[in-house]
Amino acid sequence: MTAKPNVMIFGGLALMAPILTLQLIPPLPAEPLISHIRIVDKYLVDPPTTRIPKAFLKALQDRKDLIEYRQVNLTTPSAVSKCFMDLAPNGLPYTHIIDATGEFHPTRPVEVYIQNTLCAALHIARASASQMERIPGSIKAHVRLAIPWYKHPGIEKRYKETDPEGWKPKNMPGVWWHESLRAIGSIKGLPLVVVRCGFPYGEGYFPFEVTTITLLALVYKHIGREMRLLWSPNLPKSCINTYDLAGAVWKAAEWISTLSREEADAIAGAPIPPSYDDSVTSENCPDAILASAGSVTIPTFNAVDESDATQGSVTAVVSRVFGIEIGFLESSTGIFEGKVLGQVIQEATEVHMMAWNEIITNANPPVPDTPLLPYISPSLLAHDGCGMDGERMRKILKYEFRYPRFDERAIRDYINWCRSEGIWPETDLYTSS
């Protein structure tokens, strides 16, 4: 019998690492699916320096034989490589590597994205490839997460992995997440697979589209006004529940674990085009794959649910659950009485925050420290959309969703998760259990 996988997850402590860990190590008496998990990130866990789900902190305490957390500076190659050199408790190397590292913050200087996103991913992939050279066959899977920071404005279009038009980054963090794929994709022999997710929502701290719309609904119910969103109800908002994102990442890892990179490329390779961003130069980043080198082919899966979500489909669910009206401002011209969009947003944000503050301080019990905020991120306002086709994931990975669509059950489960974390404001605005 072969040993169960030794899994190493880099980054994602504030994203999907806790959820994936809890899936791979289900509560007793269920057998763990893995032999050991080492999670490596820049944060401290004791005391936590980022929001970490309680169930995960408990598992770290209770299942020390199975889970290890290491705080490591991911921009230091020797520190990353030591994580590979230190064997798992069963005396074997780590076999399944999951890389969810990268910078999300929207307004950092370009060097920060180069170091924290491209270079970190490259240090991890090089260390992984070097273990593969030292111990042939020892890396079964190396999964890199890609985030939905691409321009998908067309209301009809759903981009497949192989469509170069779907790979145009929409901002500077997105450029370097994108270029990180190309850089690590160029390393020979690594059993790499890219999972490109839609907007994640659900269990965990994901302040993205669907979550924000849900919280805004509570705000509008509180102030008793119609909620209105920008652009068309048809704007695509492909999304995925975080439980399924973790599941899809693991499924992709299992899929490539029996294939060589060449075989995986033949089945699911996608040519990842250059970002063509001006900041991608050999002066800025000697390790970047320049546009002149063309595309880099990598096995890639879009991870989006089966619902083909749009602003309209998401708001219809939220509107039903909270019993409020949600409309659309079809165009940003002529309806703001001469105000510029930025000013309108600022005014709206002030109203939202004041109402939110009332909700969380008058809740029973009050939850003034909740990390939940109905903050309108630029991505919620942008006309970019996120239109991804998930057929390949369904056909090749045959992943079965727990949440095939964002629906009332998905909202209820999310709110109940927030309740279990003690961060949900209990009010008479939403009383279901």
Ligand X SMILES: *[C@@H]1O[C@H](CO)[C@@H](O)[C@H](O)[C@H]1NC(C)=O
Contact call for residues 101 and 116 (beta carbons, < 8 A):
yes
Give the helix ranges, DSSP H, for 224-275. Answer: 242-256, 261-268
Q: Which is nearer to ligand X, 150 or 176 (CB)?
A: 176
Residue 397: which H helix or E strand, with range?
Answer: none
Give CA 17 to chain center in angstroms: 10
Give the nearest distance from C-beta 111 to ligand X in angstroms: 10
Note whether 357 binds ligand X by CB under 6 A.
no
Q: Distance (Å, rounded) from C-alpha 300 to C-alpha 249?
A: 11
Pick from 219, 206, 71, 195: nearest CA to 145: 195
Neighbours of 337 (CB within 10 A): 6
Give the nearest distance from C-beta 109 to ligand X in angstroms: 14
Give the nearest distance from C-beta 99 to ligand X in angstroms: 17
Q: Which long-range contacts (CB under 8 A, 24 or more apart) does 255-260 make?
A: 255/193, 255/396, 255/397, 256/140, 256/141, 256/143, 256/191, 256/192, 256/193, 256/299, 257/5, 257/95, 257/96, 257/140, 257/141, 257/191, 259/191, 260/191
Give the nearest distance from C-beta 413 to ligand X in angstroms: 36
Give the nearest distance from C-beta 142 to ligand X in angstroms: 22
Note whether 343 binds ligand X by CB under 6 A.
no
Q: Which is nearer to ligand X, 120 or 219 (CB)?
A: 120
Q: Which is nearer to ligand X, 73 or 420 (CB)?
A: 73
Residue 111, C-beta contacts closer than 8 angstroms, at least 6 positions apart: 284
Q: Which is nearer to ligand X, 176 or 417 (CB)?
A: 176
Pick from 16, 69, 34: nearest CA to 257: 34
Give the nearest distance from C-beta 11 to ligand X in angstroms: 14
Give the nearest distance from C-beta 42 to ligand X in angstroms: 7
Note whether 73 binds ligand X by CB under 6 A.
yes
CA–CA distance from 140 to each of 95, 245, 336 (Å)?
Answer: 5, 20, 55
Residue with smallest beta-carbon separation from ligand X: 73
Give the nearest distance from C-beta 52 to ligand X in angstroms: 19
Q: Is 352 left (phi over 0), alpha (psi -120 to 50) or beta?
A: alpha
Q: Which is nearer to ligand X, 82 or 412 (CB)?
A: 82
Pick from 258, 237, 275: nearest CA to 114: 275
Helix (H/G/I), strand (E/B), else coil: 63: coil
Note whether 76 binds ligand X by CB under 6 A.
yes
Give the nearest distance from C-beta 73 to ligand X in angstroms: 4
Q: Which is nearer to ligand X, 76 or 346 (CB)?
A: 76
Stretch that binds ligand X, among 18-26, 73-81, 131-139, 229-237 (CB under 6 A): 73-81
Q: Distance (Å, rounded) from C-alpha 5 to C-alpha 95?
A: 6
Q: Is 279 left (phi over 0), alpha (psi -120 to 50) or beta?
A: alpha
Q: Which is nearer to ligand X, 101 or 302 (CB)?
A: 101
How many residues touch ligand X under the rule CB under 6 A: the total is 3
Stretch that binds ligand X, among 2-10, 69-77, 100-108, 237-245 (CB under 6 A): 69-77
Note whether 332 binds ligand X by CB under 6 A.
no
Residue that has been written with the tokens 């079964």 in this structure: 140
Q: Distance (Å, rounded) from C-alpha 356 to C-alpha 215?
A: 9
Give the nearest distance from C-beta 115 to ligand X in angstroms: 7
Q: Binding pattern to ligand X, positions 26-65, x when CB under 6 A?
A: ----------------------------------------
Q: Which is nearer to ligand X, 76 or 331 (CB)?
A: 76
Q: Distance (Å, rounded) from C-alpha 145 to C-alpha 17?
A: 11
Q: Which is nearer to ligand X, 76 or 343 (CB)?
A: 76
Stretch that binds ligand X, among 71-79, 233-241, 399-407, 419-427 (CB under 6 A): 71-79
Stretch that binds ligand X, among 68-76, 199-207, 232-240, 288-296 (CB under 6 A): 68-76
Stretch that binds ligand X, among 70-78, 291-299, 321-329, 363-371 (CB under 6 A): 70-78
Residue 75: which H helix or E strand, with range?
Answer: none
Q: Is 385 left (phi over 0), alpha (psi -120 to 50) or beta?
A: left
Give the nearest distance from C-beta 264 to ligand X in angstroms: 32
Note whether 75 binds ligand X by CB under 6 A.
yes
Binding site for ligand X (CB under 6 A): 73, 75-76
